[in-house]
Amino acid sequence: MHTNPASPLLQLDGVKIAYGGIQAVKGISLELYKGEMVCLIGANGAGKTTTLNAISGTLGLAGGSIMYDGDDIGTLPTHKRLRKGIALVPEGRGIFTRLTVEENLRMGAYIRNDAAAIDADLERVYTMLPRVKERLAQVAGTLSGGEQQMVAIGRALLSRPKLLLLDEPSMGLAPLVVEKIFEVVQTVKNEGVTILLVEQNANLALEFAQRGYVMESGQLTITGSGRELLADPKVRAAYLGE
Amino acid sequence: MNELVEAIPFLGKRYPKATKWLIIILAAVAPLIAAYFGRSWMRILDFALLYMMLALGLNLVVGFAGLLDLGYIAFYAVGAYTWAFLASPHFGIHMPFWIVLPLGAAFAALAGIMLGFPVLRLRGDYLAIVTLGFGEIVRIFMNNLNHPINITNGPQGINALDSLNLFGWNLSQSIKIGDFQIHYLYLYYYFFLLCVIGSIIFIKRLQISRVGRAWAAMRDDELAAKAIGINTRNMKLLAFALGATFGGVAGGLFGSFQGFVSPESFSLMESIAVLTMVVFGGMGNIAGAVVGALALTALPEILRNIALPVQQAVFGTVILDPEVLRMLLLSLAMILMMLLRPAGLVPAHARYSRPELLKGGA
């Protein structure tokens, strides 16, 4: 498929995350290599979103380390991690509902000030998301769920991420729309962005991703290539409804 | 300005230019009109301008950044007491305004940051409760810091504050040109008007700046704001500090205008009154804050002038104190607002970036 460079782009080692006294993530280790799409699947409350938030820096660590591109980023605030190239598309999309679509996208370039390059990137996003381009002047809160998700992904792309963290992009969307979203994600991946995807829609996620991790009550239990996991009887029983 | 024009029913839509001029002329001749009804009305106008500054400042915090602050009047108090300490016989210090006013603003900003740090993680109701407590703490300090060392002179307040002296030109002395006399209330009015216009211009620039956009994003969705690289901690502190600065300046001007400060001017009810102005006018909107402040300063006074004679005539005695009526009116205004215009008198446009930047059309 593709060759892994020697050192991973992102490496979690024994990461623990706690809310108050309760440990939500109990020492997980995972790594992502450049250009990969990896998915993290698991039931509700397994700690997937928590893990993603810790990687993006919106949550602090209770233990362990996060290495990115050779640096320990475990204590960096979110905006500094974004500058290093880690962008999060939050769960529930988190678009700015009162701004127009174009304003939303431009907000994605908040940390940049190279106007010409931003415009060029916008054009690239528009070709990737033709549906979004038709609605630039519309207030984002009036978009459909799928369109909002696309805006959220487009906005994250405008920060020129190296690593894109996607939190449940399929949440609450019709199956047909979900497929469109995954096509977009695939396009983003083909452009060379490394992707860590959290999904409950395990079937689809494993089809698209090269590798996957299964998370259960704060721990990673099974790992393997997308195909292996799809064929794994335990995974099939627990997450694919068989 | 344009928002204000648009908000005026009928006239604003049909004749925007004429309406704009009408507002400008009205602002210029307002004290002359007020003078016709008596001195007290001119004083009310001056206070309306001070409240405008407060509402503009609070609007930064509540409207732009979405941080509900119920102790805003504390910054007003800090500004006023700074003036009282540094420009009155109380300590025998008489510094010029260009030192005291910026100092008051700086102290207020510092107080804003002091409040901001502990409440960084709080939101909504919890934030409101802590800020409310902060406002009360400041007031109670002012009330009790007369013992063992007399700093604030306690509940009696501080008297005989220096009036505003603009490089030798004392604003509290009427100008006499022959027989013609310009009353000092006019001078204060125009000076305050300049301050308000300056604030509006500054806040307008701020709203469309990176900072303004960051606040707007933070108010909409804090996690998403973080995700696009906004340093939400600094932005919150900046909102508290800048909002407090306006409160501090307004407080200093209040001290110089009134010539007297005491803790009772800075009660919780005042915080709520300013917040009501912001909400009444339209949260997150500069024109809204201005209209709200004007309406809610003038209406209770008008009511007072009507209610007292009416009560005298009907019952032969005053049953409802005007101060009670003021609170009644404020609450009534809020209820009517919620029913009829939930977004405020002048609803905020959801525009934060500069339209000329948008290439897809708006």
- Residues B118-150 pLDDT 10s: 988 888 889 999 999 999 999 999 999 888 888
Which of the residues B211, B228, B358 would you substitute to probe the A interface, choosing the one with the greatest number of A C-beta atoms within 10 Å?
Answer: B228
Instruction: Look at residue A19 and tell me whether its pLDDT is greater than 70.
Output: yes
- pLDDT given at position B353: 46
Of B228, B360, B362, the CB nearest to A110: B228
Residue A5 lies in a domain: no
pLDDT band for position B349 (cuts 50, 70, 90): low
ipTM of the complex: 0.85
Residue A2 lies in a domain: no
- pLDDT given at position A55: 95
Contacts 24+ apart (CB under 8 A), A127-136: A128/A154, A128/A157, A128/A184, A128/A187, A128/A188, A129/A153, A129/A154, A129/A184, A132/A101, A132/A105, A133/B360, A135/A101, A136/A100, A136/A101, A136/A102, A136/B358, A136/B360, A136/B361
Instruction: Evaluate whether B84 touches B229 at the Cβ level (below 8 Å).
Output: no
Look up the CATH number of the domain holding residue A131. 3.40.50.300
B224 to chain A: nearest residue by CA? A94
Instruction: Evaluate whether A68 touches A163 at the Cβ level (below 8 Å).
Output: yes
**Residue ranges of domains in chain B:** 38-357
Question: Which residues numbered 68-97 in A keep a CB inside 8 Å of some CB on B?
Answer: 77-79, 82-83, 87-90, 94-97
What is the distance between the alpha carbons of residues A49 and A91, in angstroms, rounded to a whole number? 8
Say whether B216 and A96 touch across the interface (CB within 8 A). Answer: yes
B228 to chain A: nearest residue by CA? A108
What pTM did the predictor assign?
0.86
What is the distance between the alpha carbons of residues A39 and A51, in angstroms, rounded to a whole number? 12
What is the distance between the alpha carbons of residues A39 and A2, in angstroms, rounded to a whole number? 17
Instruction: Evaluate whether B237 touches B116 at the Cβ level (below 8 Å).
Output: yes
User: How close, in Å, is residue A120 to chain B by CA atoms?
Assistant: 12
Please give the C-alpha separations between residue B144 and each of B84, B150, B255, B259, in angstroms, as whole numbers: 16, 9, 19, 21
**Nearest 5°: phi and psi at B223?**
-65, -45
Residues of A within 8 A of B357 (CB-CB) are: 106
User: Is B38-357 assigned to CATH 2.60.40?
Assistant: no
Residue A123 lies in a domain: yes
- Residues B65-114 pLDDT 10s: 999 999 999 999 999 999 999 988 888 888 888 899 999 999 999 999 99
What is the distance between the alpha carbons of residues B180 and B186, in angstroms, rounded to a whole number? 14
- Residues B151-177 pLDDT 10s: 888 888 888 888 887 776 777 777 777
- pLDDT given at position B113: 94
Mean pLDDT calculated for residue range B211-229: 90
Which of the residues A83, A107, A126, A135 would you substitute to probe the B interface, choosing the one with the greatest number of B C-beta atoms within 10 Å?
Answer: A107
Task: Single out the residue of A50, A56, A52, A55 nearest to residue A19, CA to CA.
Answer: A50
Of B220, B233, B360, the CB nearest to A96: B220
A54: domain range? Answer: 10-239
Q: Mean pLDDT for chain B?
A: 85
Question: Which residues numbered 199-238 in B keep a CB inside 8 Å of some CB on A?
Answer: 210, 213-214, 216-217, 220-221, 223-224, 226-231, 233
Q: How many helices (H) and strands (E) does chain A have?
A: 10, 10
Residue A4 lies in a domain: no
**Nearest 5°: phi and psi at A194?**
-80, 140
Instruction: Look at residue B214 and tell me whether its pLDDT is greater than 50.
Output: yes
Q: What single letter denotes the amino acid at residue B124?
A: G
Question: Which residues numbered 333-352 in B keep a CB inside 8 Å of some CB on A?
Answer: 350, 352
Say whether A110 and B213 touch across the interface (CB within 8 A). Answer: yes
User: How close, in Å, is residue A134 to chain B by CA atoms?
Assistant: 9
Residues of B within 8 A of A98 (CB-CB) are: 216, 220, 350
- pLDDT given at position B2: 64
Residue A181 lies in a domain: yes
- Residues A123-180 pLDDT 10s: 999 998 888 888 888 888 899 999 999 999 999 999 999 999 999 998 889 888 999 9
